[in-house]
Structure 1
Amino acid sequence: MNSSTTNSLPFEDTVGAWVPHGRFTVEPTSDGPLSGLSFAAKDLFDVAGHRTGAGNPTWLDTHAPASAHSALVAQLLGAGATLHGKTITDELAYSIHGDNLHYGAPLNTRAPDRVTGGSSSGSAAAAAAGLVDFALGTDTGGSTRVPGSYCGLWSLRTTHGLLSTEGVVPLSPLFDTMTWLAADADVFERVGQTLLNDSNEPVWRDAVMLTDACAQAEPLFAPLIDRVIDTLSTQFSLPVSYAPSSDTELEIWRQTYITVSAYDAWQTHKDWITSARPTFADAIQGRWQAAANISVDAVEQARSLETNLKAQVRNLLGANRIAILPSASSPAIERGADAATVDAIRASTFRITSVAGLAGLPQVNIPFIAQNGLPAGVSLLGPAGSDLALIRLAVAVGKKLNALGCGHG
């Protein structure tokens, strides 16, 4: 089967998820395990013959159309899935809010008065609205875990380096991971079975609830975390203990992640930013200015601490333990929230997401609907390379919760 491209979508974009230059369809290149499924790609992924915009019109204008599909887009087309274009990303993926200065804030159908979260904002909106079966995203500091939590979707951060970044606009290569979101658990797992191998299938021994990460989340997460703990212990016979991520406060984790990732991002993009002089949203412009001022000494100290923190978490999990933690610190932020509120929630959420980020570990978001009716996610964190086994366990937990009448969103 040869792929073909049509310059339109077979449906109306009812949630404002697609970028103007991304409204096209690419047919699969062969039949395969994903035949019959459709997907969208965050506008960081190259699609042959189309420009990649990376959330910024100046990037779009200064880069030629892609000569080839990104590795993951090609793999999914080869597995039988149909690509329905490109979705909005926060500018150069440098935000977890989901409001793009140039292309707008996609609609979160699960909480219409609240943001989708970013930077995989359009992918989350499209999947939550059921316009595609799944959508490709990236996760550097939380850019798929947070939208998954905000929009009631299955999502994950993959083990760093596990999936190819070829043909994808980077933010911080030291932390960038390739991933996807889906509303349906079976679809989510089916994509995982296609993209991931099962060479690391641990026999899970026990679980640990990360007390410091859970303390960062609003109280509405507590009963959801308790449900996961109870299900793991009673339905899967996994003893659950309680411990912090390490002996270091999570604020230090956040600062370490910010220092290392921002320096890395500036080294990656400084030549283009200084020559093209793009217009960024104020918050993102501020991040670039801060990144440009990080000293070599500061980043060297942070890299040393990163190595220590990474080792502590990996030692805590070993080869066959999982950790339980919230996926974000709050439900989706209200549209129009003031900058101080957004910054405070961003900081507490990064204290949570930096654990997997600095450790380079896989984390799967299980979607719930909290008592206030808003989506909120609880995550399972696993050893490096255990991504597919972690997905299978998370999906099994979700299905058990459904069967027990206290299911996920």
Structure 2
Amino acid sequence: MLVQESLERAHKDEFNAVVTINGFAQKQAQELSSKGVEPFPFAVKDVIYTKGIRTTMGSRLFQDFVPSFDATVVATLKRAGGVLIGKTNTHELASGATTTSSIFGPTKNPLDASRIAGGSSGGSAAAVSSGIVEFALGTDTAGSVRIPAALCGVYGLKPTNGLLSNKGVFPLAPTFDTVGFISSNLNWLKRLKKLLPAFSKLSSTPRKPKIAVPSWVYWWDKAPASYSKTVEEVVLSFEKLLDARSIEWSKVEMPLAEALVWSRFGAIRYAEATHVHLERKQRWSECFPDVRRLLERGLTVLATEYLDALFARKRVYSEFKRVITQFDVLATPTVSIPAPKIEEVLGNEDGDVRSVLTHNTVYASYIGVPALSIPTLKVEGLPVGVQLIADKFDELKLLEIASLF
């Protein structure tokens, strides 16, 4: 895609995906071309620093903030020929799964503008899904790349925690935060091996994969009553998809994960997010109600609960290692429900919809392993995605196996 074409589409954005356009993009593309470098357009979530371009975190607290430097990942892409088209909408402080609480207003899903795009990287997913760019940066703490990618019908990759530098990425919960990538096609994600030095060191040996479906996917009896039937429908549709593709799979019991992940993840996420914003506590009243409630929730986490949650990660990862030695990847639906209507979500962003959207994505975040959402599963005519989870630094294996879907 040409930079000029991407810019024209950004100016015509109907989904509130791009919130700030880079006025120098065309000039930067011309400068690259004059040096014999083929420029490519990309967009960046509005919590990732971009030198000289407003970076608001979707919040009144930072609405006038202009970074003096590029985030490491942005600078690396620019050196490879990337031209920043603009900044994409985010749920305030990257603290939500819907991208409806933002100073710019909700981002709409390009597949159905009455529905949410997911979050918190909803603007990036909508920008890719609507064709503004083929490739965009997001961040992922509890599923913030994978959830919107799934709901908008595109690819979303969460790398291994620590693989990429988070310098210049505004934190939510540093233990879990990582830069992530959203793209309209798998080949673009495979280009990361050439574009990013960290990916160039990774390797994979293609073979017919063995796939494990973890027991924690079958959770509809524990889901909120209003969503239980849909959660079950999504899982059964997922099983049918695996069978239809003649993929070898087995259900695997993971009792430690079931007992620990969803009861411990929040202690780390809430405590760390609150700590990040503690110095601004006197301004929390300016945040959207759902974000403010989550910040206040972190104040109630005990030190013993936080430490217990950190130590439990090691036990959960050990269980994962025992499983992954027998299989290549875990596979799940990315999300448990299709995209809800925006009007159903407003005012309830931190309620049941949040726990249902994040249920399948927090596992990989909790133990720090890579995960990829593939736009290959639909329910009720709307995408929910298939999520593949691999061991640390096995990103290329995910991309190879994804081609089977």
TM range (shorter): 0.7 to 0.9
Query: Which of 359, 367, 370 is the aligned partner of 1:351?
Result: 359
Note if 1:210 corresponds to 2:214: yes
Task: Check the 8 A contact 1:202/1:319 in 2, yes or no.
Answer: no
Distance 1:192 1:120, change over 3 A: farther
Offset of residue 24 of structure 1 = 3.3
Task: Check the 8 A contact 2:202/2:395 in 1, yes or no.
Answer: no
Q: Which moved more, 1:24-33 or 1:67-76?
A: 24-33
Read off the aligned partner of 1:209 and give its amino acid letter: V
CA distance in 1, matches of 2:49, 2:304: 35
Task: Check the 8 A contact 1:25/1:82 in 2, yes or no.
Answer: no
In structure 2, the partner of 1:4 is none
In structure 2, the partner of 1:18 is 18
CA deviations over 1:296-345 (Å, ceiling 9, x no partner) = 12212222222211221133213862111111111111111155697223
In structure 2, the partner of 1:48 is 51
Distance 1:135 1:261, change over 3 A: same
Offset of residue 278 of structure 1 = 5.6
Offset of residue 140 of structure 1 = 0.3
CA deviations over 1:258-281 (Å, ceiling 9, x no partner) = 11111112222211x225446111
Percent identical: 25
CA distance in 2, matches of 1:33, 1:292: 54
Task: Check the 8 A contact 1:225/1:325 in 2, yes or no.
Answer: no
- Structure 1: stretches of 5+ with no match in the other structure: 1-6, 234-238, 399-409
CA distance in 2, matches of 1:352, 1:33: 44
Offset of residue 36 of structure 1 = 4.6
Q: Which moved more, 1:327-336 or 1:273-282?
A: 273-282
In structure 2, the partner of 1:166 is 167
Task: Check the 8 A contact 2:333/2:385 in 1, yes or no.
Answer: yes
Q: Which moved more, 1:293-302 or 1:364-373?
A: 364-373
In structure 2, the partner of 1:92 is 93
Query: Which of 56, 60, 69 is the aligned partner of 1:57?
Result: 60
CA distance in 1, matches of 2:395, 2:217: 21
SS at match of 2:11: coil
Alignment of 1:75-224 (within 5 A): 75-191=76-192, 193-195=194-196, 196-202=199-205, 206-216=210-220, 217-224=231-238
Note if 1:363 corresponds to 2:371: yes
Read off the aligned partner of 2:216 and give its amino acid letter: D
In structure 2, the partner of 1:405 is none
Task: Check the 8 A contact 1:214/1:326 in 2, yes or no.
Answer: no
CA distance in 2, matches of 1:289, 1:202: 47
In structure 2, the partner of 1:383 is 391
Distance 1:341 1:260, change over 3 A: closer
- Structure 2: stretches of 5+ with no match in the other structure: 1-6, 221-230
Offset of residue 98 of structure 1 = 1.4
Task: Check the 8 A contact 2:234/2:333 in 1, yes or no.
Answer: no
Query: Which of 254, 261, 280 is the aligned partner of 1:245?
Result: 254
Note if 1:231 corresponds to 2:245: yes
Could you tell me the TM-score, scaled by structure 2's length? 0.86
Q: Which moved more, 1:332-341 or 1:164-173?
A: 332-341
In structure 2, the partner of 1:3 is none
Read off the aligned partner of 2:306 and give its amino acid letter: V
CA distance in 1, matches of 2:298, 2:382: 34
CA distance in 1, matches of 2:240, 2:249: 11
Offset of residue 366 of structure 1 = 0.8
Taking only aligned residues, the RMSD between alpha carbons, in angstroms, comes to: 2.7
Read off the aligned partner of 2:242 and give its amino acid letter: V
Offset of residue 48 of structure 1 = 1.1
CA distance in 2, matches of 1:171, 1:316: 30
Task: Check the 8 A contact 2:96/2:349 in 1, yes or no.
Answer: no
SS at match of 1:337: helix
Alignment of 1:383-402 (within 5 A): 383-394=391-402, 396-398=403-405
Query: Which of 342, 355, 362 is the aligned partner of 1:335?
Result: 342
Task: Check the 8 A contact 1:228/1:397 in 2, yes or no.
Answer: no
CA distance in 1, matches of 2:44, 2:36: 19
CA distance in 1, matches of 2:36, 2:213: 35
CA distance in 2, matches of 1:215, 1:105: 29
Alignment of 1:292-311 (within 5 A): 292-311=299-318
Q: Which moved more, 1:323-332 or 1:260-269?
A: 260-269
CA distance in 2, matches of 1:33, 1:148: 33
Task: Check the 8 A contact 1:101/1:280 in 2, yes or no.
Answer: no
SS at match of 2:114: coil
CA distance in 2, matches of 1:264, 1:308: 21
Read off the aligned partner of 2:68 and give its amino acid letter: S
Distance 1:198 1:214, change over 3 A: farther
CA distance in 1, matches of 2:389, 2:37: 26
In structure 2, the partner of 1:321 is 328
SS at match of 1:389: helix
Distance 1:243 1:263, change over 3 A: same
Offset of residue 97 of structure 1 = 1.1
SS at match of 2:357: helix
Task: Check the 8 A contact 1:48/1:66 in 2, yes or no.
Answer: yes
CA distance in 1, matches of 2:389, 2:322: 13
CA distance in 1, matches of 2:136, 2:159: 15
Aligned length: 382
